Amino acid sequence: MIRSLVIAPQWIGDAVMTEPLLRALSERGEQITVFAVPWVAPIYRAMNHIDNLEATVDVPFQHGGLQWQARRDLAARIQSGEWGTFGRAYVLPNSLKSALLPWLASIPERIGYLGEMRYGLLNKRLANPPRHARGAMVAHYLALADAVDGAASQLGTDPKVASLGLGVCPQLFVTSSDVLLPHGLTAQTYTVIAPGAEYGPAKRWPAEHFAELIAKLDHPVVLLGSAKESALCKTIRNVALRASPTQTIHNLAGKTSLTEAIHIIANAKSMVSNDSGLMHVAAAFGIPQVAIFGSSDPRHTPPLNDRAKVLWLKEMQGLDCSPCFQRECPKTGEENMRCLNAITPSEVAGALTETALR
């Protein structure tokens, strides 16, 4: 049985979308260790249903910077056999620095997509199509399983994603709801609202729309997000309470770890979000959800969940400029952010009701 190292992506949503790849590797007998940055590692710890996922190791890397000495030190630990002897490494990010570690550690097979001048660092490579020509990301990651001597994964076709040509939907599992009590929450009674999107404002539905939606709901709401989104969530809560003073709104943005946020989402009644990492977490738990897309493309990063409803103005009204993949909207005047502004709170509330009935 071969022992494989997986170098994880550095974004929460991307990490979720790698689950089918890890499941494919496990099902053909590979013993897997994942190296992940600390803000992503909890995603892999919610994959303990994967039999041969032996360990998830937090690695001390940050966004940006080569961190050469830290990578050399970690490579030396790999070579010492601290996690066993790896015969294969899957490098999931496209960056040069992500491919350095398996190369420095002299892992024999180093598999990944071409990108960032790393031709010599990888010895089993797949062509990397441009973003506009790339299919759904789950399939993009899953294809790496087939880069080993042409071996095909044995996963069957899931009808939920058959129209996308994918093999399976990502899955996460948690077994406890203990984190709810300290926050005053009861399972299956609240809707999670995640109004942030790390990429930029062109992916964020307006704060006033979120507030209006919350005021329409007849059950408690939990606002989730990073510390950087706590002010946004505070504003949304204040505006919603002015419109509906009796509404119960828990603003937990910046007050939970990712592990706690995962458990809160897993036990939610439903969820509304932008195209974000937490959107993919909700999809992996199969809860009713509404996903609002602006500058990005749901054909590329959809919430793979048959209880999800995607709202995207390109499909709803044929908006020509979408998807633009910009961080900020390049349009001005009335056209600025129309892809998101024109999706109304009433439409989202109706979609949320629809998903609850599925």
Residue 255 has a CB neighbour count (10 Å cut-off) of: 16
pLDDT number for residue 162: 36
Six token digits for residue 61: 């890397």
Indicate the average pLDDT of the chain: 90
Instruction: Return the bridge partners of 290, or none.
Output: 272, 309
pTM equals: 0.92
Per DSSP, 63 falls in state S
pLDDT at residue 148 tops 90:
no
pLDDT at residue 305 tops 80:
yes
pLDDT at residue 97 tops 70:
yes
pLDDT at residue 153 tops 50:
no
User: Nearest to residue 250, comparing CAs of 184, 316, 295?
Assistant: 184
pLDDT number for residue 176: 81
pLDDT number for residue 160: 37
Lowest mean pLDDT among 133-137, 138-142, 158-162: 158-162
Between 276 and 175, whose confidence is greater? 276
Average pLDDT for residues 34-61, to the nearest whole number?
95
With cut-offs at 50, 70 and 90, classify the pLDDT of residue 235. very high
With cut-offs at 50, 70 and 90, classify the pLDDT of residue 149. low
Instruction: Using alpha carbons only, give the angle 332, 297, 39 rounded to the nearest 5 degrees.
Output: 100
Six token digits for residue 11: 């974004």
pLDDT at residue 313 tops 70:
yes
Give tens-digit pLDDT for 7-44.
999 999 999 999 999 999 999 999 999 999 999 999 99
With cut-offs at 50, 70 and 90, classify the pLDDT of residue 63. confident
pLDDT number for residue 175: 86
Between 88 and 157, whose confidence is greater? 88
pLDDT above 90 covers what percent of the chain? 70
> What string of DSSP letters covers 261-326?
HHHHHHT-SEEEEESSHHHHHHHHHT--EEEEESSS-TTTS----TTEEEEEHHHHH--TT-----
pLDDT number for residue 150: 52
CATH 3.40.50.2000 segments of the chain: 3-164, 181-356
Per DSSP, 151 falls in state P
pLDDT at residue 348 tops 70:
yes
With cut-offs at 50, 70 and 90, classify the pLDDT of residue 152. very low
- The dihedral built from the CA positions of residue 196, 10, 164 and 167, taken in this order, carries a sign that is negative
Give domain 3-164's CATH superfamily: Glycogen Phosphorylase B; (3.40.50.2000)
Q: Are strands 221-223 and 249-251 parallel, antiparallel or unpaired?
A: parallel
Between 307 and 62, whose confidence is greater? 307
User: Nearest to residue 102, comparing CAs of 52, 18, 33, 53?
Assistant: 33
Per DSSP, 84 falls in state B
Measured distance between the N- and C-terminal CA atoms of the chain, rounded to whole angstroms: 42
CATH architecture assignment, domain 181-356: 3-Layer(aba) Sandwich (3.40)
39-61: buried (b, 16+ CB within 10 Å) or exposed (e) per residue?
bbbbbbbbbeebebbeebbebeb
pLDDT number for residue 159: 37
Six token digits for residue 52: 């041969």
CA atoms within 13 A on the CB side of 29: 4
pLDDT at residue 199 tops 90:
no
Extract long-range pairs of 77-86: CB within 8 Å, 24+ residues apart: 78/5, 78/105, 78/107, 79/105, 79/106, 83/3, 83/5, 83/33, 83/55, 83/57, 84/3, 84/31, 84/33, 85/3, 86/3, 86/4, 86/5, 86/33
pLDDT number for residue 331: 86
Residue 282 has a CB neighbour count (10 Å cut-off) of: 30
pLDDT above 70 covers what percent of the chain? 94
Lowest mean pLDDT among 5-9, 134-138, 325-329, 335-339: 134-138
